[in-house]
Amino acid sequence: MTVSKSVNADEQLRAARQSRLPQRDQPPPRRMFLLSHPRLSASLPLAQEMAAQVRASNIMTEIVTDKDALTTRHFEPGDMVVALGGDGWMLHAGRITAEAGVPVLGVNLGRLGFLAEVQPTEWRSVFDRVCAGDYWIEQRMMLHTEVWRDDQHQLSFDVLNEVVVSRGAVVRPVRLETHIDGGWLTTYVADGLIIATPTGSTAYALAVGGPILPPDLKNILLIPVAPHLSMERAIVLARGSTVTVMVHTEHEAVISGDGAIERPLANDDRIIVEAGLHSARFVRTQDPSYFYRTLMKRMGKNPAAEMIQNPNA
């Protein structure tokens, strides 16, 4: 019996390791949308260079500079989006392509570049590989959020990084009655509560002391912001959990998603957060351990802070 259990455990471990190996034999894209960031001067010229190389491989290309121009209805099987910008641009691209299942290749023109696959100096070799089908798809969990007021639905949205429920301009904490799968967890008295994906664990959640989660996990992370005499530890929830937050406040409160979606909240508003139906799909040519290499390069180095200290650097 002991030997059988040991063999079974070994088989499960081998299967788990095998499942993490990337499937690199992917179909070459039939069409590429080059999503150029309108406020980055280097983005459009680079997109034009990329378009010329991709067309030489008989792949259709289209350069897009309006972030709202691409919606689900524009996509067809075989499409790929190339996002030329920073991490915020990648988040936007991930949100607009998730429902259609369109993969996103990120070209880093920002400061940190946690999410992007390609640096501007190396794009030609990476594009050669992608056009030949030598890449794999990394799927990243998203969160679906609903806001209810007096049993009336107010708002729905999906995010890739995090949902934040927080105080507004008035510097007073809010009380956030938090339930997990219908059961009361705690009432946070805090500036806010971050509800993050593993992708978001290296964003705002990391800045307030949260743990770092590998991007392929499907767990939800809870971490309070400046809690006052209440639960201060981050909690990693089981896969498939649902978070419900009741807002209790006598002043302004807000909900935001990925730093791009923001709406005011009223007293007794109810927020429901759970895993989304769709995943963001990122194009990767590196091996899966790229995440840890990128993390170590970025940790202890904040380009935004360095730029303020030495603006001429």
Positions annotated as catalytic residues are: 87
Beta strands in the chain (DSSP E): 31-36, 60-64, 79-85, 104-108, 136-140, 143-149, 152-159, 162-167, 174-180, 183-190, 192-196, 221-225, 235-236, 242-248, 253-257, 261-265, 270-275, 280-284
| Residue 163, beta-bridge partner list | 195, 257
Instruction: Return the ∠ at Cα 276 (arms to 274 and 282), rounded to 5°.
Output: 135
Comparing CA positions, the residue from 190, 193, 207 lying closest to residue 243 is: 193
Single-letter amino acid, residue 259:
G
CB 82 within 8 A of CB 107: yes
CB 269 within 8 A of CB 247: yes
CB atoms within 10 A of CB 226: 13
Comparing CA positions, the residue from 122, 163, 165 lying closest to residue 144 is: 163
Task: Kindly state the greatest CA–CA separation across the chain.
Answer: 69
Instruction: Return the ∠ at Cα 173 (arms to 170 and 174), rounded to 5°.
Output: 105
CB atoms within 10 A of CB 52: 10
Q: Which residues of 73-86 are buried (b: 16+ CB within 10 A; e: fewer)?
A: eebeeebbbbbbbb
